Each structure stands twice: as structure tokens, then as C-alpha cells.
Amino acid sequence: MAAKRKALGRGLSALIPETLEKEDYERIQEIDIDLIRPNPNQPRKIFEQDKLNELTESIKKYGVIQPIIVKKEDELYTIIAGERRWRACKNANIKTIPCIVRDIENRNASEIALIENIQREDLNPIDEATAYEFIMDRYGITQEEVSNIVGKSRVYVTNIMRLNNLDDYVKDKIKNNLITAGHGRALLSLDKEKQRSMADIIIRDNLSVRDVEKLVREQKKPRRKIKREKDKYILYLEEVLTERFSSKVNIKSNKNRGKIEIEYHSSEDLNRILDLLNIED
């Protein structure tokens, strides 16, 4: 059964040749499990043992229903997707595993068409970002390798792909040419809710990218706490007590609670204040 294709933008979905997944499943190979290695860049490092044991038992009974995806590197194969299935097969002492081998250097006809379409079509920045992510996920390659394939600089690819982190609402505004990719990048440091509200402000006020960058900087500045003015009666009491103890007195109040602070500058000064309070050692 073919794996579900990742949801793509409307413009991008038209670029994916219909035969792409069909050709994948026409070239499934049984590969020696010892020739396969996990991807060192796989973000998932820990696999729950209970679930792995369940999958191992399932594979013992029914075999591997869905092939794993690998890429060939020298004499070995690195996993792009399906490391859990591979680990379960090793636990089940299975010698070979069905694999789809993806090789970015030796692309099939549908893969060549996909790359050519991405290079040729006038994609909006969001569909372009999704296309690059699709290629990276499909072949397990880096942004630099993507940049070489599509003929763009690595910095360009990196900046475009950052748009994938925007809120969907903001992405739609970029797709519909209501704001630019530059506006989108300026919003990336904000949380999703603020991104949405800021996108509406950009459209309403026709803001430039520079205007947005300035607004975002202002929003991220720590706000100064407004110092509350003291009640006049509290100020009067501070003055009276300061004169009474010949030391600075500070009263901090919050509704019906608070505290009185009396400064002293030496042990002798402290003893003097204690005497005034009739407190003996």
C-alpha cells in the first residue's frame, strides 16, 4: 500500500508527477538487513520498547507490510524513513527487508520531471518552500544538496524554507500576494497568534518590510515596569519616621499589607535604632 503523500500547496501538487509513487513501488528491492544503517541525523533517538516489541511480533506473523525508504551510500544503505520497522526486523532475526531505494544522482523519469517542474514553474514562495522540504524528506538530503539540484544558492534555499515555520494564516496571505515573503520572514520571531494579527496590520496599513521589522523589534523589547506613585499619606509617614529614627525609612504597601524598612550603616547605628524602639539585647 502506497504511503500517503504529504499535504502540499495547490500549486505544488500539480508539479508532482502522478507516476512518482507508482515508480517507487515498482522498484522495491529486498536488501540484506546488515547492509542498512540508521540515519545519524534522525531526530528521533529513543524508540519505546513496548511499541517496538509489538511491531516485532506483528512482523513475525505478517511480514513487513510497508517497505522502508533508503538511499545508497558507497556499499551501504542509509535509512530515510522506516527506522522502527528496520529495528523490529533485526529483533525478529529477519535477514532481508523490502526497501525503496532513492538515489538523487540517478533519478527516474518522474523524479527528473519533478525537479524540472520546480525549476521551471513560477511558484509562490510558500509552494517553493514546501517543494524544497518535499525533496529533502524524499531523499534524506541537506539544504545545500537541494540548492545544487535546483540551481539556487544555499542562502536562498535556507531563507525560503524558513517560511515553512510561519502560521498557516500568514502562509495563505503570502500565497495570495497580500504580503511578501520578506514580510513573512520578519514575522518569524513572533508567536503564531501575533503573526496572524501582524499580517492583518501589514495589509490594512500597507506596511513595508522595514516597517514590520521595526514593529517586531518594538514588540520584543522588554517593557519597563511603571513605577506607582506613593500615596501622600505614606510619604508623610516615611518623612515622620525618617526624622524619628534619623535614618532613611521606606514603606512598601500593597492594599492592606506591606513592610517598613529602616536603613542602618553600622552595628552602632543598628543598636541606636533598637534603643529607640526599646528593644534590648
Provide CB contacts within 8 A for 132, sequence distance 6+. 118, 143, 146, 150, 157, 160, 161
Three-class SS state of 186: helix
Half-sphere exposure of 274 (CA within 13 A, CB side): 9
261 is catalytic: no
**69: which residues sit within 8 A by CB, 6+ positions away?**
79, 80, 81, 82, 99, 100, 102, 140
Question: From edge to edge, which strands make up the β-sheet containing 36-37?
Answer: 28-32, 96-101, 68-73, 76-81, 36-37
At position 89, the amino acid (one-letter code) is C
- Bridge partners of 70, per DSSP, are 79, 101
Q: At what angle are helices 125-139 and 143-150 packed, to 10 degrees? A: 110
Q: Calculate the CA 91 to chain-centre distance.
A: 33
32, three cell numbers: 540484506
Distance of alpha carbon 189 from alpha carbon 195, whole angstroms: 9
The candidate with the shortest Cα–Cα distance to 159, out of 179, 180, 138, is 180
The residue behind cell 534603643 is 275
Place of cell 547605628: 269
Of the residues 18, 26, 48, 83, which is catalytic?
83
| Active site amino acids | 83
